[in-house]
Amino acid sequence: MGLREYIIRRLLLFIPTILGVIILIFAVSQLFTPEQRASLYVTSEKQLEKIDVIIQTYHLNESIFIQFKEWFWQVLQGNLGYSHIAKQGVLQAMLRKLPATVELVMFSIPLTIILGIYLGVQSAVHRDKLVDHATRTAAIIGWSLPSFWLGIMLIAIFYLALGWFPPERIGSEAYNYITLSGKWHTYTGLYTIDGLLNGQLWITIDALRHLVLPTISLTTIQIALIVRVMRSSMLESLSKGYIVTARAKGLSQAEVINKHARRNALIPTITVSGLLTAGMLTGVTITETVFNIDGIGRWAAWSAGAGGSVPDIPGVLGFAMFAGIVYCIANLIVDILYAYIDPRIRLG
Amino acid sequence: MKKNSILTVDNLKVNFYTYEGIVEALDGVNLNLMPGETLGVVGETGCGKSVTGLSIMKLVPPPGRIEDGKVVFNIKNRTLNVLELEERILRKIRGRLISMVFQDPRSALNPVYTVGDQIMEVLLHHRRKILIKRIIDRLDEKIKEGKAGFLEKFYKKMLTIMMEDPKSDIIELTSKIPFLRGYKRLLKEEAKKEAINMLRLMRIPDPERVVDMYPHELSGGMAQRVVIAMALACNPEILIADEPTTNLDVTVQLQILYLIKRLREEFSSSIIYITHDMGVIAEMCDRVAVMYAGNIVELADVIELFKNPLHPYTRGLLESIPRPGQPFKSIPGTVPSLINPPKGCRFHERCSYAMEICTREKPKFIEVKKNHFVQCFLYQSKSSKKTR
Amino acid sequence: MKKEEKKEVTTGFRYRLREFKAGMGPAIKELKFTLRRIRQSPLSIVGIIIIAIFAGIAILAPIIAPPVMRDPYRIFRDGFGMEPRPPGSPVSEPIAREKGWTVHYFGTAQGQYDIFYGCIWGTRTAFRIGVLVVAISLIIGILLGSVSGYYGGIIDEILMRFTDVILAFPGLILAMALVIALPLMWEVDVGLIFLIAAAFLTPVIILRVRHMGGLGVLIGLVAALAITAYKFTIGLSPIWVWSLQLSRLDKVLIALALVGWPSYTRVIRSEVLRVKQEDYVEAAKAIGCSDFRIITKHILPNAIYSVIIMATLDIGAIVLTAAALSFLGIGAPEGYADWGQMISYARNWIFAGIENPWQYWYTFTIPGIFIFTFVLGWNLLGDAFRDILDPTLRRR
């Protein structure tokens, strides 16, 4: 079959799933009253004053099919409603807050995967020795921690007591420079990279300092997932016949592990990486709230009513749709990677 | 100890430390292999044949441990005890001087690499210098004819360095730069040519296509040929074939057997052929060792063994081969558990000739007739020759 | 003289008891082996002990922490002051004193809620949420998963698409949306539900007798869907309506169960698919076992292992998710005995007391330790189960 055909087939499967995501969001939205749903169709605060008009125009009281048509048309045009928390349209709000979240995740995900794979391999190769027990214990502890609690404890220890790593995204000095000085060019929206591009290294370093605790928070909890899968798949891989063959060919233990065992062991790990994305999306919601970072996660938490705010229905639904689509894309990538590494999948 | 044998196994003892107890898998195995011959090792499942094969290459996996004994490899007038060598040297021996063919070709091959990659792996590991030399000679030709460009002269330079010191800094450096690292590609191509050649020698049709296929795309017979190709790629002195045809269809079995026979002439290796099938022994082997519950109980030339089986177990084995028109005969009882093996001779519980001494002591492995060894008290007193 | 023949007893209670014991022989041996493996794994013992301790706390809650309010799940307040008071502070509220409270063992949280009380009764809440959600998901998962896996076909396709869509969302996020969306007051047309159930079950039962179970399920589904569609498009007058009042915690429960059942369904389905291929299932069919018997007696006992592991680990995960929801303020209401809820206000007090950030440590550290230890116990047990119950790894 080949990789190309497999990718095409997989893409064809992707589209109905995305449609399903949209339909499910719609179904959940139907649980709200028409008055609550009105803000899904507007783009500004003022328009909300005439709720009856909105209900009329978009047929919010009529049958499901008509409503779906109306709503779907809005979605295709990019109108996901008005978020009173962000004081903006939902789509605009998400785009504006995306960089903060991306910055957080772009360090956490690679760290989790690379460290997780390494620890998993070590754990399997030195089975039942100290490395193994220590890694597994640490992983299980990480997996058992409530993410919000870990965040709070980290802040209490490393910021309030020791003063090393502050929460939030950037210090006030850097923030003033970025917003007020007029010398700042926003290239990517990511302070770490933009700092370099603007030639202001201190801003990059400041941003990195602020990223340490949230990254640790996210990684500690998610790493257990990777370590566990990598360890068990590595153990299975090491017990297979081709390992003996490789050694009989005269390869060293290191070569056998790295060339033969690990590649096979990566297969289930790649699959699990999809779950990692889900964990990150969830973790980001809590972590951004605890660390007070202005990203999509915190906006979603506030939209849901965190901290006593009035629920922002377009916000919640918009974020759910975003999360669903991102997760689908992640699974798509994972499936393709999986086929790339394991020829048995793409060759049927 | 035979002076001209190429491999001698002397009193090999292997234990497996499992959850349920210590399995005494090999209880003092004695073998020797002469150059150019095919030695069969025959026995029931679980008697320790495969463990013997693995031990010869010091590849016994944990929880197994080689407790005692010697495996002496006699090559180019040097004798090496494999069990005492350090890993670094063993790695040079495995795949190059001693190779192994495994029982299940499917699980012996790594599913995520192509068949070609896996043959090339053993070639690149052991035959790197020869391959590089070939490329350099060809490049030299081209240079002499004046047809070589700058790049090719550069490659030749790189390859010469690589031949001497594959880990030198220059090599590390240039292998990272896209254009300059083309010489590695040349090496891979040369290895691939050799791999295709091996496949062709294995009588695999259309080897250029097969070399890029994955193991799961091949039939059992083809896969086994690939495993044999991997084992013979570096022209080893000794080939250990661990039941290579057991998992294959009967018709394919025959093909593989014929192949091995032909390869025997083409490659002049000495072969240890492990199997449970007496018919294969008769077909393939010059001498045969009969194994039971971790011991070699009889060792003789094939014809002598079939004409004149001495050990009761061997007799039982030969009698149990089904013959048309005759009733089934089998050896009563079952193979003993090796966690708590019976004292004395391990066969005594099933032996119709068992004597009192068999339950107490283990018989020695002695030469009863010329080149015919038995481990049995029936012949103990008759022996006037020295023990091995 | 007639010789009395000695007949072997093949009937009667004694005989049946003997047969039963003989039949259970291998199962008991396996159980003993499993128990021995559990005993040999120190981590699983730690897990069991932790869970046992928490179970003890939950059961003895009324004794350890006598309820003060009418609803024992409401933490009693010692006044209305904002600032939390440290462990050891005296109790002054008269009703509480009457019930035997003299001192706040763990101190008070914002609003003077007793932390000790919250943690003890929070254990009950945690068990309730964790066990209930997992049990519901498990039951739905087994029912749908085994039917889907065993019969395959269109039913399977549709169900898989459906679970795909739900599983396309990270759990907490969908749960968040559902918790907000679910109304507190439900008008449930119970009559309609009975009608749909009847429409589904009738073909299943009739056709099951004739060994066409799959077809029966299909027809039943079509009938059920037809009625549902009819109701929603053309409209049926309500048959028998009940009013349901949900508490906020109930909403969390329902939301988590709605989000949780697809994973269980998928796992059971894939295990059923695997076991379906085994020879002993062929054999059972060959001797004429009914589908129901094959599923319950042969397939499920072999398919169940992965799900048990999953369920054990999931209890911890559910409690964490519920705690996160409470922390965000959309789970348990204020003053409810729920660990996550107690931490939600603690955040203000860490960042407030900059002088000494640890001044109010008890508001977040103690409930946090409860959550962590509880989840750790289940995770240890689940991990141990995974090592022990995997049939391929059982005898190393």
pLDDT tens-place string over residues C290-299: 777 777 777 7
Residues B277-284, mean pLDDT to the nearest whole number: 88
Q: Which of A244, A247, A342 sits opposite B112 (nearest CB)?
A: A342
The alpha carbon dihedral of C162, C163, C169, C175 has a sign of: positive
Which residues share a beta bridge with B31?
Answer: B9
Return the pLDDT at C208: 64
Looking at chain B, the whole-number percentage of residues with pLDDT higher than 70 is 96
Q: In terms of domains, do B176 and B221 share one?
A: no
Contact A320 C169 (CB under 8 A): yes
Helices (H), chain A: 2-29, 34-37, 51-57, 64-76, 90-125, 130-144, 147-154, 172-180, 191-197, 201-238, 241-248, 253-255, 262-291, 296-304, 313-341, 343-346
Edge-first strand listing for the sheet containing B21-33:
B21-33, B7-18, B64-75, B78-81
Q: What is d(CA B316, CA C248) in angstroms, rounded to the nearest whole number?
A: 79
Query: B61 — contact with chain C (CB < 8 Å)?
Result: no
Q: Which of B240, C296, A348 is nearest to B227 (CA)?
A: B240
Closest approach of B357 to chain A, Cα-based (Å): 41
DSSP string, A70-85: HHHHHHHTT---EETT
> What is the 3-state composition of chain B as percent helix, strand, coil, each rounded to the nearest 5?
40, 20, 40
CB contacts, 8 Å: B18 with chain C: 396
CB pairs under 8 A between A and C: 145
Amino acid at A86: A
Which residues share a beta bridge with B27?
Answer: B13
Residue of C nearest to B17 (CA): C396
Query: B61 — contact with chain A (CB < 8 Å)?
Result: yes
- Answer yes or no: is B339 within a domain: no
Query: B383 — contact with chain A (CB < 8 Å)?
Result: no
Q: Which residue has the tokens 């008055």?
A: A35
Q: In terms of domains, do B155 and B280 share one?
A: no
Return the pLDDT at C129: 93
Q: Give the number of other CB atoms < 10 A from CB of residue C133.
A: 27
Contact C354 A160 (CB under 8 A): yes
CA distances from B127 to A56, B74, B123, B357, C323 (A): 82, 22, 5, 54, 62
Q: Which of C210, C223, C218, C196 is nearest to C150 (CA)?
A: C218
Query: Rounded to a whole number, what is the largest CA-CA distance in chain B?
Result: 85
- Answer yes or no: is B37 within a domain: yes
Contact A249 B121 (CB under 8 A): yes
- Answer yes or no: is B370 within a domain: no
- Answer yes or no: is C17 within a domain: no
Residue of C nearest to B18 (CA): C396
pLDDT per residue over A108-140, tens digit each? 999 999 999 999 999 988 888 888 888 988 888
> What is the 3-state composition of chain C as percent helix, strand, coil, each rounded to the nearest 5?
70, 5, 25
Q: What is d(CA C295, CA C264) in angstroms, rounded to the nearest whole number?
A: 17
Most A-contacting residue of B82, B96, B104, B112 (CB-CB within 10 A), to test interface:
B112
Q: In terms of domains, do B232 and B277 share one?
A: yes
B15: which 2 tokens? 């234990």
DSSP string, B239-275: EEEESTTTTS-HHHHHHHHHHHHHHHHHH--EEEEEE
Please give the tally of structural domains in chain C. Answer: 1
Query: B18 — contact with chain C (CB < 8 Å)?
Result: yes
Contact C343 A145 (CB under 8 A): no
User: Among residues 367-396 of chain C, which lie with CB inside 8 Å of chain B?
Assistant: 395-396
Residue of B nearest to A240 (CA): B107
Q: In terms of domains, do B107 and B130 share one?
A: no
| Range with the poorest average pLDDT among A87-91, B228-232, C13-17, C144-148 | C13-17
C-alpha dihedral over C192, C197, C200, C204, to 10 degrees?
Answer: -160
pLDDT per residue over A133-165, tens digit each? 889 888 889 889 998 999 988 888 888 778 888
- pLDDT at A314 exceeding the cut of 50: yes
Question: Residue A312, SS3?
Answer: coil
CB contacts, 8 Å: C396 with chain B: 18-19
C156: which 2 tokens? 């399977």
Q: In terms of domains, do B13 and B106 share one?
A: yes
Contact A144 C327 (CB under 8 A): no
Contact A248 B99 (CB under 8 A): yes
pLDDT per residue over A275-290, tens digit each? 888 889 999 999 998 8
Give ∠ CA C60-C65-C69 in degrees, rounded to 5.
120
Return the pLDDT at A347: 67
Return the pLDDT at C393: 52
Burial label for C93, CB within 10 Å (0-12, 13-18, 19+), is middle
Closest approach of C385 to chain A, Cα-based (Å): 14
DSSP string, C249-304: HHHHHHHHHHHHHHHHHHHHHHHHHHHHTSHHHHHHHHTT--HHHIIIIIIHHHHH
Most C-contacting residue of A152, A153, A162, A287 (CB-CB within 10 A), to test interface:
A152
Q: Which of A344, A343, A335 is nearest to A7 (CA)?
A: A335
C-alpha dihedral over A28, A30, A31, A33, to 10 degrees?
Answer: 140
- Answer yes or no: is C11 within a domain: no
Contact C324 A147 (CB under 8 A): yes
Residue of A nearest to C353 (CA): A160
With a CB cutoff of 8 Å and minimum separation 6, the contacts of A186 are: A194
Residues A34-59, mean pLDDT to the nearest whole number: 75
- Answer yes or no: is B26 within a domain: yes
Return the pLDDT at B40: 93
Contact A347 B217 (CB under 8 A): yes
Query: B214 — contact with chain A (CB < 8 Å)?
Result: yes
Closest approach of B19 to chain C, Cα-based (Å): 7
Q: Which of B287, B303, B338 is the last residue of a domain?
A: B287
Residue of A nearest to B98 (CA): A248
Q: In terms of domains, do B220 and B183 share one?
A: no
Residues in chain A, overall count: 348
Closest approach of A14 to chain B, Cα-based (Å): 26
pLDDT band at B3 (very low <50, low <70, confident <90, very high): low
Residue of A nearest to C323 (CA): A146
- Answer yes or no: is C131 within a domain: yes
CATH of the domain at C259: 1.10.3720.10
Closest approach of C176 to chain A, Cα-based (Å): 7
Q: What is d(CA B153, CA B133) in angstroms, rounded to the nearest whole number?
A: 14
CA B62 to chain centre: 19
Contact A245 B125 (CB under 8 A): no
- Answer yes or no: is B243 within a domain: yes
- Answer yes or no: is B57 within a domain: no
- pLDDT at A191 exceeding the cut of 90: no
Contact A282 C170 (CB under 8 A): yes
CB contacts, 8 Å: C179 with chain A: 304
Q: Which residue has the tokens 């689908």?
A: A328
CB C107 within 8 A of CB C115: yes
Q: Tell me if the bond preceding B63 is cis, omega within 30° of 0.
A: yes
pLDDT per residue over C340-382, tens digit each? 988 887 777 766 655 666 778 888 889 999 999 999 999 998 8
CA distances from B324 to B250, B320, B328 (A): 19, 12, 10
- Answer yes or no: is B298 within a domain: no
Residue of B nearest to C37 (CA): B19
Return the pLDDT at C194: 78
Residues of chain C with pLDDT under 50: 1-3, 394-396
Q: Which of B261, B287, B313 is the last residue of a domain?
A: B287
CB A213 within 8 A of CB A158: yes
Phi, psi of A343 (to 5 degrees): -65, -20
- Answer yes or no: is C206 within a domain: no
Q: In terms of domains, do B154 and B220 share one?
A: no
Query: A244 — contact with chain B (CB < 8 Å)?
Result: yes
CB B10 within 8 A of CB B83: no
Closest approach of B202 to chain C, Cα-based (Å): 36
Contact B92 A250 (CB under 8 A): yes
Residue of A nearest to B236 (CA): A249
Residues B46-66, mean pLDDT to the nearest whole number: 87
Q: pTM to 2 decimals? A: 0.80
Contact A344 B214 (CB under 8 A): yes
CB contacts, 8 Å: C395 with chain B: 19-20
A neighbours by CB contacts (3+ pairs under 8 Å): B, C
Closest approach of B76 to chain A, Cα-based (Å): 20
Which residues share a beta bridge with C108?
Answer: C114
- Answer yes or no: is C163 within a domain: yes
Query: B108 — contact with chain A (CB < 8 Å)?
Result: yes
Return the pLDDT at C56: 93
CB B299 within 8 A of CB B288: yes
Q: What is d(CA A181, CA C386) in angstroms, rounded to the nearest whole number?
A: 58
- Answer yes or no: is C35 within a domain: no
| Range with the poorest average pLDDT among A42-56, B353-367, C259-273 | A42-56
Return the pLDDT at C53: 95
With a CB cutoff of 8 Å and minimum separation 6, the contacts of C279 are: none
SS3 letters across B321-386: CCCCCCCCCCCCCCCCCCCCCCCCCCCHHHCCCCCHHHHCCCCCCEEEECCEEECCCCCCCCCCCC
CB C119 within 8 A of CB C366: yes
| C42 or A300, which is more confident | A300
Q: In terms of domains, do B104 and B133 share one?
A: no
Q: Which of A249, A264, A267 sits opposite B230 (nearest CB)?
A: A249
Domain that holds residue C178: 46-184+246-389
Return the pLDDT at B173: 74
Query: B299 — contact with chain A (CB < 8 Å)?
Result: no
Contacts of B147-154 with C-beta under 8 Å, sequence gap 24+, read: B151/B179, B151/B182, B154/B180, B154/B183
- Answer yes or no: is B185 within a domain: yes
Q: In terms of domains, do B238 and B174 share one?
A: no
Q: What is d(CA B303, CA B280) in angstroms, rounded to the nearest whole number?
A: 13
A135: which 2 tokens? 């890694």
Contact B112 A263 (CB under 8 A): yes
Most B-contacting residue of C29, C40, C396 (CB-CB within 10 A), to test interface:
C396
DSSP string, B119-181: HHHHHHHHSHHHHHHHHHHHHHHHHHTT---HHHHHHHHHHHHHHH-TT-HHHHHHTTSTTTT
- Answer yes or no: is C2 within a domain: no
Query: B217 — contact with chain A (CB < 8 Å)?
Result: yes
Residues B204-224, mean pLDDT to the nearest whole number: 91
- pLDDT at B205 exceeding the cut of 50: yes
Residue of A nearest to B108 (CA): A242
Q: Which of B57, B110, B216 sits opposite A260 (nearest CB)?
A: B110
Please give the tally of structural domains in chain B. Answer: 2
Residue of C nearest to B20 (CA): C395
With a CB cutoff of 8 Å and minimum separation 6, the contacts of B130 are: none
CB contacts, 8 Å: C387 with chain B: none
Looking at chain A, the whole-number percentage of residues with pLDDT higher than 90 is 16
User: Please, what is the average pLDDT of chain A?
Assistant: 85
- Answer yes or no: is C189 within a domain: no
Q: In terms of domains, do B191 and B245 share one?
A: no
Q: What is d(CA C257, CA B98) in angstroms, rounded to the nearest whole number?
A: 61
Residue of A nearest to B239 (CA): A248
Looking at chain B, the whole-number percentage of residues with pLDDT higher than 90 is 19
CATH of the domain at B98: 3.40.50.300
The alpha carbon dihedral of C267, C273, C276, C278 has a sign of: negative
Domain that holds residue B172: 117-197
| A82 or C189, which is more confident | A82
Beta strands in chain C (DSSP E): 185-189, 241-245
Return the pLDDT at C130: 93
Question: Residue B68, SS3?
Answer: strand
Residue of A nearest to B121 (CA): A249
User: Please, what is the average pLDDT of chain B?
Assistant: 85
Q: In terms of domains, do B100 and B225 share one?
A: yes
Query: A233 — contact with chain B (CB < 8 Å)?
Result: no
Q: Which of B230, B261, B287 is the last residue of a domain?
A: B287
Exposure of C74 in the CB half-sphere (CA atoms within 13 A): 10
Q: What is the CA radius of gyration of chain B?
A: 24
